[in-house]
Structure 1
Amino acid sequence: MTEQTRPHTNEQREIRIGKLDQIRALGYEPFGQAFNWDHSSTQIIENADALEQSGEHVRIAGRLMIIRDHGKTAFATLRDARGDIQLYFRQDTLTDREWQLFHLLDRGDIIGVDGIVFRTHTGEITVRVESYTILTKALRPLPDKWHGLTDKEQRYRMRYVDLIMNPEVRRTFETRTRMLAAIRKYYTEHGFLEVETPVLQPLYGGANARPFITHLNALDMTMYLRIAPELYLKRLLVGGIDRNFEITRNFRNEGMDTKHNPEFTAIETYQAYGDIEDAIRQTEEVVALCAQAAYGNTRFVYEGVELDVTPPWPRMTMVEAVKKFTGEDFGDLSDLEHARAIADKLNVEYGEFDGAGKILANVFDDYVEDKLVQPCHITMHPIEVSPLSKLNAENPRLTDRFESYIFTRELANGFSELNDPLDQRKRFELQQEEREHGDDEAHPVDEDFMKALEYGMPPTAGLGIGLDRLFMLMTGSRSIRDVILFPMMKPAPEGEDD
């Protein structure tokens, strides 16, 4: 049947609904009960010789992807969670009732099969169906084609169909799960305690970002979805949980593109009595660990470029990086007019109240970030954009902070944590001034966190890694939506047919 003559989805749906009574008339429930399967498609294929020789019965369940009816015989392809296997139906093997049921089956239906393994004359491993039952009647037809850029939006919006049609999508998320398990194991084995902190917060913090705002009716309070767990994890440091980490869902009410989703997964870790060097070491080891889990190597090709994440990675200060890629030297950031002149020359926008450090960061964003392909760390960030980082001992305009980049994307952010409560209050007040000057991403003052710091927080290494971006690299994915099962999407156009 051609695309032009194929019935419309709603018409096919009505035809399938019409089959429900026919299936019930044969004594079958079209939405059946549990089925005790004992083999997966992969297990059958891997053990085909032994199964064929023994004549052992196998029980397998899955979805019909292809049905080829040849009159008194038929072949079908069944897909389960592990892969595909061919089925062979014969009229003289099945009961009359089972054979009638077969002609009411459609592509997409889920069945349970009992049969024996053999090879066809072409050598294909196949299950000869001795008996079977319907487990679920699919009321909507599967698409004939489900790939290509023209279908991208539909694939993300209808991930359940994407997973049915594209086994490689399932493999992407299986790889993601393996990497998450490896990361958890790494931190647990290094003495870190996995913890959970609030997602609903009375005051957001831990990053410069716009929050999602909601209302708690029970207490008549404005609440925020967390933009980062940082300030709660630091409270735990004060309380004596010296090594902690959280794999978090964070929420930022910002733009969406191939590198940003409003809801995303990150890991934050805190190591008491450590510093920036510990955070850098963790970053390199975790990324190398994930590369091994995904590729079996710390060297791999991503979008045609060979990347090498083998530790250690090269480093540049932010000033050095800007000088390398623009030829302009911000020096020690003591000269605001010099910084403004550089920005004017490079056509980089800055605000009336922006200091030299903020201008440096703007130039870095515009001119450097998209040049950082191989793994590297950018260190010594300006104080204006690092409200939670410890001051650099050599230049108080800079902080002991780094960001890690791979393939032009910021992957990690870490620093020697600021544990001086008086300095922290000054930083928050500086951020408050930024808010009053129109920066709605500036960090608010968290008085309870300030109180906690005054009880004493040890020197600490802090690290945050954007796991979705890391998993993009390790699965060869071009968009962050490829590694999020249900990414944020615009509503489907009204009346859009699937």
Structure 2
Amino acid sequence: MAEERDIRIQHLEALRKLGINPYPNAVERTHSIADVIKDFDTLAGPDKSYTLVGRIRLLREMGKASFAQIEDGTGRIQVYIRINDIGADTYQLLKLLDLGDFIQVSGFLFYTRTGEKTLHVQSLRVLSKSLRPLPEKYHGLEDRDTRQRKRYLDLIANGDEIKNIFVTRSRMITAMRQFLDNEHFVEVETPILQPLYGGANARPFTTHHNTLDRDLFLRIAIELYHKRLLVGGFERVYEIGRNFRNEGIDRSHNPEFTMIEFYMAYADYNHTMALVENMLAFIAQQVKGSTHITYQETDIDLAPPWKRYPLLDAIHQFTGIDVRKYPDRDSLAAEMRARHFEVDPRLGYGRLIDDLKSAMFRQGHPELRQALFLVDYPEDVSPLTKQHRSLPGLVERFQPFIGGLECGNAYTELNDPLDQRARFEDQARQRAQGDDEAQVLDEDFLEALEVGMPPTSGVGLGIDRLAMLLANQESIRDVILFPTMRKTAEEQS
């Protein structure tokens, strides 16, 4: 690697000695490579000239004529370079070019004797000199850690396969906006730096603002600011933005991630369930051309209606534990241990139920691989949710699951300010007992609720996990261009 870099630097210096700027400011381009490939028969002919740009991916010098392949962001094309066409001085530049360099070429289009679509070069310029070699195309770039850590090499080596993942993600977000705009939602932006974090059970990242001389938190959820907007008179709002949670990294978690949250007044969780399943079916149709997707070898139909499972019934069905028979933490913990489930001594009753929920999905039952809603959760793990209208001790909350992945969280939102204060105070007690993900009491939010918030339902959905599903990727790091990574051995030393 070092030796090849030295050779490339020598080529760079040789170009400069010839009076050639290897990093010029101005670039000319008349067509993308995809454009000329698509309309090749119409554009071809010696009386027409086109200017293309791209990275050199192949270079074969053959005496007085050479072939190369260049690639831009849309495709790849062969170019034919003759000393008689560009002159001896320019032709000698080929000896100073390396794979990975960017060039600008002008000329006419023709077919070679083997039928290859080709640009016959009549002028050539260097646009950018590459000082490091590209990943070997023959072997590809297969090390997953390197691919995620150095995405630029991954994109070069694995081309369309990787780009298509992120094109899918982009089209998914575009379709999401289209659906919500059509449903008369207004897109808003709310603070990422917050004086107090809330809206989810998670640990925050803390930073310090020097001028104000105060600590601030990177938001863990968007929710509480959206509810303030509903207090102020907005009826339907949504936001696609970054959240930050100081938590572990695994195949479905990254400390920095993207969520969409939307809230609508005069609605409950039944309305939101219908909206979510219709929106995700619409997105799949727009992005994949069908409501059927394949995720990790499972065919999943996102067409509504999705199956609804009451949470406690599902836990009983898939783990064998009937939570209703164990009405307190100690009895439930004992039964979990008896059935060989791990029990965290710091967690309360509701959080143990949440652990059982996660355990049942880890078992991989085929029925739980489809698109479904889990509904009706324990009150003490849902501090922002209205009590269930007919099931004491439960709240009107649901979570969508697709392919075994938890994709979001939604409620009939709690708008009783006195009940909300009592829930926050209970969360404070849980924090005192060691649950550092319990929510903090937010006086400003409670004051807003006391002004009055209409009946409301809202949902937060994980953009990254939805991208995993639509792009059929096993890890969240494969759908984030630059995921958070652990230190390398070199960085640790």
- Check whether TM > 0.5: yes
Counterpart of 1:91 in structure 2 is 83
Counterpart of 1:423 in structure 2 is: 419
Residues 59-106 of structure 1 deviation map (CA, whole Å, 9 limit, x = unaligned): 111100111122221111111011111111112111122101121110
Match of 1:440 among 428, 436, 440: 436
> 1:17: Cα distance to partner?
1.2
Q: Partners of 1:269 and 1:112 in 2: how far apart?
A: 47
Q: Match for 1:416: what amino acid? A: T
| Aligned mates of 1:50, 1:106 — CA distance in 2 | 32
> Is structure 2 residue 195 aligned with structure 1 residue 202?
yes
Matches within 5 A, 1:28-43: 28-43=20-35
1:436-489 per-residue CA deviation (whole Å, 9 max, x = no partner) reads 000000000001000000000011110000000000111121211111111011
- Relative distance call for 1:214 and 1:100 in structure 2 (3 A) is same
Structure 2 counterpart SS, 1:271: strand
> Which stretch of the first structure deviates more once superposed, 279-288 or 199-208?
279-288
Q: Distance in 2 between matches of 1:146 and 1:297?
A: 35
Matched residue type, 1:200: L
2:23 aligned with 1:27: no
Amino acid at match of 1:130: Q
User: Could you tell me whether the CA contact under 8 Å between 2:140 and 2:158 is conserved in 1?
Assistant: no
Task: Please say which of residues 144-153 and 196-205 is displaced more in the overlay.
Answer: 144-153
Q: What residue number does 2:357 align with?
A: 364
Which residue of structure 2 aligns with residue 125 of structure 1? 117
For 1:103 and 1:281, locate their aligned partners in 2 and report how far apart those are by CA, in whole Å.
64
Match 2:263 to one of 254, 263, 270:
270
Where 1:115 maps in the other structure, the secondary structure is strand
Contact persistence 1:333–1:356 (CA under 8 A)? no
**Are the structure 2 counterparts of residues 255 and 149 from structure 1 closer, same or farther at C-alpha, using a change threshold of 3 Å?**
farther
- Asked if 1:211 is matched to 2:207, the reply is no
Number of residues of Structure 1 aligned to a counterpart in Structure 2: 488
Aligned-residue offset at 1:336: 5.8
- Aligned equivalent of 1:283, options 276, 289, 309: 276
Equivalent position to 1:102, from 94, 103, 112: 94
Counterpart secondary structure, 1:265:
strand
**Is the Cα–Cα contact under 8 Å of residues 283 and 412 in structure 1 kept in the other structure?**
no
Whole-Å separation in 2 of the counterparts to 1:259 and 1:172? 16
- Partner Cα distance (1:185, 1:200) in 2: 28
1-structure distance, mates of 2:79, 2:69: 6
Name the amino acid aligned to 2:76.
D
Please give the alpha-carbon distance, in whole angstroms, between the structure 1 residues aligned to 2:392 and 2:184. 33
Would you say 1:160 and 2:152 are equivalent positions? yes
Q: Secondary structure at the match of 1:77?
A: strand
Match of 1:343 among 317, 323, 336: 336
Aligned to 2:184: 191
User: Counterpart in 2 of 1:396?
Assistant: 392
Could you report, residue by residue, the CA deviation over 1:131-156 in whole angstroms, capped at 9, with x for unpaired residues?
11000011111121487785211111
1:221 correspondence with 2:217: no
Q: Distance in 2 between matches of 1:334 and 1:10?
A: 66
User: Would you say 1:412 and 2:408 are equivalent positions?
Assistant: yes
1:40-189 matches, cutoff 5 A: 40-53=32-45, 55-145=47-137, 151-167=143-159, 168-189=161-182
Query: How much does 1:388 deviate?
Result: 0.6
Task: Check whether the contact 1:245–1:269 (CA below 8 A) recurs between aligned residues.
Answer: yes
Q: CA RMSD in A?
A: 2.0
Q: 2:487 aligns with which of 478, 481, 491?
A: 491
- Counterpart secondary structure, 1:103: helix
Q: Distance in 1 between matches of 2:141 and 2:296?
A: 16
Separation of aligned partners in 1, 2:244 and 2:53:
39
Report matched runs for 1:239-388 at 5 Å: 239-331=232-324, 334=327, 339-350=332-343, 356-368=349-361, 370-371=364-365, 372-388=368-384
Distance 2:61 2:491 in 1: 34
1:294 deviates by 2.8
CA distance in 2 between counterparts of 1:239 and 1:483 reads 36
Alpha-carbon separation, structure 2, partners of 1:420 and 1:211: 26
Of the structure 1 ranges 370-379 and 285-294, higher mean CA displacement relative to structure 2 is found in: 285-294
Q: Secondary structure at the match of 1:17?
A: helix
Per-residue CA deviations over 1:327-381 (Å, capped at 9, x if unaligned) read: 3322387566653453233233446686654433222222245432111000001
Q: 1:305 to 1:125 in 2, by over 3 A?
A: same
- Write the deviation string for residues 5-33 of structure 1: whole angstroms up to 9, x where unpaired: xxxx1221121111223212333210112
Deviation (angstroms), 1:176: 1.3
Say which SS state the counterpart of residue 41 (structure 2) adopts.
helix
Larger displacement relative to structure 2 (174-183 or 246-255): 174-183
Amino acid at match of 1:227: I
SS of the residue corresponding to residue 58 of structure 2 reads strand
Alignment check: 8 A CA contact 1:294 1:475 kept: no
Q: Distance in 2 between matches of 1:180 and 1:159?
A: 21
Whole-Å Cα distance in 1 between the matches of residues 283 and 473 of structure 2? 15
- The gaps in structure 1 that reach 5 residues or longer are 1-8
Q: Distance in 2 between matches of 1:48 and 1:122?
A: 16
TM-score (norm 2): 0.94
3-state SS in 2 of match to 1:30: coil
Q: Relative to structure 2, which stretch is displaced further, 428-437 or 273-282?
A: 273-282
Aligned equivalent of 1:456:
452
Counterpart-to-counterpart distance in 2, 1:383 and 1:150:
47
Counterparts in 2 of 1:67 and 1:214: CA distance versus 1, 3 Å? same
- Note closer, same or farther for the CA distance 1:157–1:426 as it changes in structure 2 (3 Å cut): same
Identity %: 46
Unmatched 5+ residue regions in structure 2? none
For residue 389 of structure 2, give the secondary structure of its aligned residue in structure 1. Answer: coil
TM-aligned CA distance change 1:134 to 1:329, over 3 Å? same
Alignment check: 8 A CA contact 1:42 1:83 kept: yes
